[in-house]
Chains A and B, each alone.
Chain A
Amino acid sequence: MANYIIEGDTGPWELVIGLEVHAQVTSNAKLFSGAATSFGAEPNAQVSLVDAAMPGMLPVVNGECVKQAVRTGLALGAEIHRWSRFDRKNYFYADLPQGYQISQLYHPIVGEGALEVQADEKNPDSAVRSIGIERIHLEQDAGKLIHDQHPTMSYVDLNRSGVALMEIVSKPDMRSPEEAGAYVKKLRSILRYVGSCDGNMEEGSMRADVNVSVRKANAPFGTRCEIKNVNSVRFIQAAIEYEARRQIEVLEGGGAIVQETRLFDPDRGETRSLRSKEDAHDYRYFPDPDLLPIELSDEFLSECRDSLPELPDAKRARYAGLGVSAYNAAVLTAEVETARYFDAALDALARPELANDAANWVVAELFGALNRIGANVEASPVAPAQAASLLRLVADGTLSKTLAKQVAEVMFETGGDPEKIVEERGLRQTSDTGAIEAVIAQVLAANETKVAEYRGGKDKLFGFFVGQTMKAMAGKGNPAVVNELLKKALG
């Protein structure tokens, strides 16, 4: 990943990428007003007089949003600024009722941190790189313009106006589209663990401004372009790829890159200039005189710290310590819901030595079944405690792996407890040597020719006898015992 280069006519080019991720803060009410933040409401139904910037309306900070930003900063190992302040960013647009966005330019609430990113998270050997976080600041979202409802008018919906956003600004540390994608995925995962953003990119809860430039190896940074408002990992990667190639073409054609804002068009897979709108941008930032500086107390900070969950990297390390394979650990920790399920199953199982069996079961059996029924892990018909019971039945020899599969199938269908299913359906594995020997005798008697071939040296036939025996026992024979007795009988 570190060696990603694009071969141009003049030689290899390196990419330099920085991301500004806008993440909607999970909160009930807006950053500076008591209006609701939920998605999908009727137009202008979640708008207070403050959000509509009525004359004389004033902002008051929502403490939860401050807390969420601090928790996010802590999760990214970032410096928390105990003194921060809001500034006004002044510009006119129909989706910006105040004529300014309240943001934090001079004194953001969170300073430098870092995010460890692995290009291929499921491959434990793939390179890990640390991507610097420049800052995180709180700001208001704008409203929404709708252009397709009227031939000569645009409509303005202010439901989003004033919703809290965290702008998470990376350093220009990424060098490939994949690395940028991995960064966003990892960031999204952490935000969802922390609970500070739901990470729902389709609903616009997370979107990124992507800064891209290209340079020859070891050259200074080139001029960058900013691709605004890209709203999926796939589009981010596609936009970077396109933009880098465009810039290389311009440079190799003897041109120069103009620093500008561009838009990614997912239908055409290309970026285009937005310069028409950008003629006179001068945001005239200054401290918002309607708001006082935010000073964080020790108490507030420890509250934030104490409320942080175990984060993905720590969880992965813990799972690995329990003997879970690197692959499983990566899969289980990627999404907070999965990790939550797995942790609950581990707790119910209360047998750490079975952690990897449990991991295997979740990754292979549970995910497979959920895929088939199209449910996510939170809606799993098999609760974590039930999964633990099943795993215990296997461990104590009540169920063979094959039987366990059958029981699991019933569990997925009915949501029933495995013990009950085993009882009701008589699926208990048998280790009764007398019963098994009787079945073996029948199997050998019915396959005299094959017995002779086996004894004549065709060892491969052993599996056939196991299969026949298990089949005759409807899968309930303890495989180890069956093997042992078969060997003896064929001896």
Chain B
Amino acid sequence: MSVDLAQVKKIATLARIAVSDRQAEALVPELNNILHWVEQLNEVDTEGVAPLEAVVPNRTRLREDAVTDGGIRDAVLANAPAAEHGFFAVPKVIE
């Protein structure tokens, strides 16, 4: 499969990365090279093979339902580019 300019722009939008037209044009062959390269996998017969679930056998541990965290608002907000009145602040969202 190959991507064209429109798809590259769509991917960039999905990934929320601004790209100029020039950048998008440059990305078309770059991404296609990589995609064609990974498509070697089509040579592999994977009929009936279950996708890998856990890298190393391990078991889910269920946490106890106890409040052990939170109450650290200052730490949570400390690195915020903009924080006001205990909130993170972002450019106005119109819903």
Do any CB atoms of chain A lie under 8 A from CB atoms of chain B in the complex?
Answer: yes
Q: Write out, one digit per residue, whether chain B residues 51-86 have a CB within 8 A of any chain A CB (1) or not (0).
A: 001100011111111111111110111000010111
Known contacts A36-B70, A42-B73, A49-B76; is-contact A155 B89 (Cβ 8 Å): yes
Total number of A-B contacts with CB less than 8 angstroms? 134
Main DSSP-derived SS at the A contact region: loop
User: Cβ of A491 < 8 Å from any Cβ of B?
Assistant: no
B64, A63: Cβ atoms under 8 Å? yes
CB pair A146–B60 under 8 Å, yes or no, is no
Report whether over half of chain B's contact residues are helix, strand or loop; otherwise say mixed: loop
Which of chain A's residues have a CB closer than 8 A to the CB of B90?
94, 153-154, 156
Q: Could you say which of A60, A280, A293 contacts B54, with CB atoms under 8 Å apart?
A: A293
Q: Which residues 43-81 of A have a CB within 8 angstroms of B?
A: 43-52, 60-66
B93 within 8 Å of A by Cβ? yes
Instruction: State the Cβ distance, A283 to closest chain B Cβ, in Å.
Output: 10
Stretch from A26-34, A307-315, A426-434 forming part of the interface with B = A26-34
> Which of A46, A154, A284 meets B89, CB within 8 Å?
A154
Which of B8-16, B18-26, B27-35, B39-47 has 4 or more CB atoms under 8 Å from chain A?
B8-16
Given A152-B91, A155-B84, answer yes or no on A292-B60 (Cβ-Cβ < 8 Å).
yes
**Contact for A48 among B60, B72, B85, B93, CB less than 8 A:** B72
Residue of B nearest to A276 (CB): B94
Residues of B at under 8 Å CB distance from A?
10, 13-14, 16, 53-54, 58-73, 75-77, 82, 84-93, 95
Q: Can you give 7 A-B contacts (C-beta < 8 A)?
A: A35-B67, A45-B70, A63-B64, A64-B65, A155-B87, A292-B54, A294-B60
Cβ-closest 9 pairs across A and B: A63-B62, A64-B65, A35-B70, A34-B68, A155-B87, A34-B69, A48-B69, A156-B88, A43-B86
Given contacts A34-B70, A61-B60, 4 further A-B contacts (CB under 8 A): A33-B69, A42-B73, A149-B87, A150-B84
